[in-house]
A and B are shown apart, each in its own frame.
Chain A
Amino acid sequence: MTCLRENLKGADLLIGYLEGTLSAEERAELDQHASACADCRGLLAAQEMLGDDEVPEVSADFDARLYARLQQEQQQQWWRRLLWRPAVPLAAAAALLAVTLWVRPVAPPQADEPKSASVDRAEIEQLEQALDDVELLMPVNKTPEVL
């Protein structure tokens, strides 16, 4: 018999040995090997010590409560997991901006708004240059200096 750690059925043999489900022949073979193999002897002794510990009784609905708790945890934490992904906050910000721009009311053009409201600095300069030329072409008695 090979060592339990190297045997493909080592785990099954170990469990069967501890639970007492091995055949007499298998059990005798394992005992014989363990008497000569310190590694397997230590493994069996350690497992037997663990088996001696008292296992508390679980309630009848333990499984049901366990799965319900797991499901609850998963439902509570999906958004936390999402927030850790760096793309999600960026996408959320972009979506918020898009919604803001889309929702923002566009001010309707006011009927009484003067057409002059959009005059900028460049247009003022253009106006003054045009006036310079026009005044040169005006009759002297009609120029602003005279008026």
Chain B
Amino acid sequence: MRLWRAVAIAVGLLLAGGLDPASAQTPKQQAKQAKLKAKQLKQAKQAAVLERFLQMSPQERNQALRQLPPAQRQRILRRLDAVGSLSDEERRSLRGRFDTFLDMPPERQPVVRRELQQLRQLTPEQRRNRLASPELRDKFSEDELRFLSEVAGRQE
């Protein structure tokens, strides 16, 4: 009886898989979907690793990075300390922006990342002008511009 129930469940799952909207996609769309999921998974892992390191004590971080060359270890420790030195509110805010960034479509993330890097090189006035420029309005969506303005504004 139990065997028949298992068989029925398996058949049901197979049928459900066959009716899945994903199965109606072309191979190219399926590949794109798989790539997107892989990217999201990778970023989720990155966020999880960062969170884990931020929760470590300095001794634990040292221990975790002990196999690295001293220069690289020191650089990572310094960067972690910088994030760790933020106040609780700043960290919450940073986490929110980080999540927003990770929620962006993977193909848009490099574009936004490059723009943020450029904005960081500018003076506050140049940043304001840049954010108000027609070039950026053509290049980014409203949500992306809002995100850029929020992040760049905090960099002043």
Residues on A lying within 8 angstroms of B by beta carbon are 114-117, 119, 123-124, 126-131, 133-140, 142-144, 147
User: Is B82 a contact partner of A144 (Cβ separation < 8 A)?
Assistant: yes
**A136 in complex: contacting residue of B75, B82, B120, B156, CB < 8 Å:** B120
Query: Is chain A's interface secondary structure helix, strand, loop, or mixed overall?
Result: helix
Residues on B lying within 8 angstroms of A by beta carbon are 42, 45-47, 49-50, 52-53, 56, 59-61, 63-65, 68, 75-76, 78-83, 85-86, 90, 94, 97-98, 101-102, 113, 116-117, 120, 151, 154-156
**A119 in complex: contacting residue of B59, B64, B80, CB < 8 Å:** B64
A134 to B98, CA, bound (A): 6
Q: A116-B56, A131-B76, A133-B113 are in contact. Are A138 and B83 (CB under 8 A)?
A: yes
**B50 in complex: contacting residue of A117, A119, A127, A142, CB < 8 Å:** A127
**B78 in complex: contacting residue of A115, A117, A144, CB < 8 Å:** A144
User: Is A123 a contact partner of B49 (Cβ separation < 8 A)?
Assistant: yes
User: Is A138 a contact partner of B65 (Cβ separation < 8 A)?
Assistant: no
User: Is A114 a contact partner of B80 (Cβ separation < 8 A)?
Assistant: no
**B76 in complex: contacting residue of A117, A127, A136, CB < 8 Å:** A127
User: Is A116 a contact partner of B79 (Cβ separation < 8 A)?
Assistant: no
B115 to chain A, nearest CB (A): 10
- CB-based nearest A residue for B155: A140
User: Is A114 a contact partner of B64 (Cβ separation < 8 A)?
Assistant: yes
User: Is B49 a contact partner of A147 (Cβ separation < 8 A)?
Assistant: no
- CB-based nearest B residue for A143: B82
A139 to B83, CA, bound (A): 10
Query: Is chain B's interface secondary structure helix, strand, loop, or mixed overall?
Result: helix
**B80 in complex: contacting residue of A126, A131, A137, A139, CB < 8 Å:** A131
- CB-based nearest B residue for A121: B67
Given contacts A124-B76, A147-B85, 19 further A-B contacts (CB under 8 A): A114-B56, A114-B63, A115-B52, A116-B60, A116-B61, A117-B64, A126-B45, A126-B50, A127-B53, A130-B47, A133-B101, A133-B102, A137-B151, A139-B155, A140-B155, A142-B86, A142-B90, A144-B78, A147-B78
- What B residues does A142 contact at CB under 8 A? 82, 85-86, 90
**B68 in complex: contacting residue of A114, A124, A140, CB < 8 Å:** A124
User: Is B50 a contact partner of A131 (Cβ separation < 8 A)?
Assistant: yes
- What A residues does B68 contact at CB under 8 A? 124
- What A residues does B79 contact at CB under 8 A? 131, 135, 144
- What B residues does A138 contact at CB under 8 A? 82-83, 86, 94, 155
6 CB contacts below 8 A, A to B, read: A119-B64, A127-B46, A127-B50, A133-B46, A135-B82, A147-B85
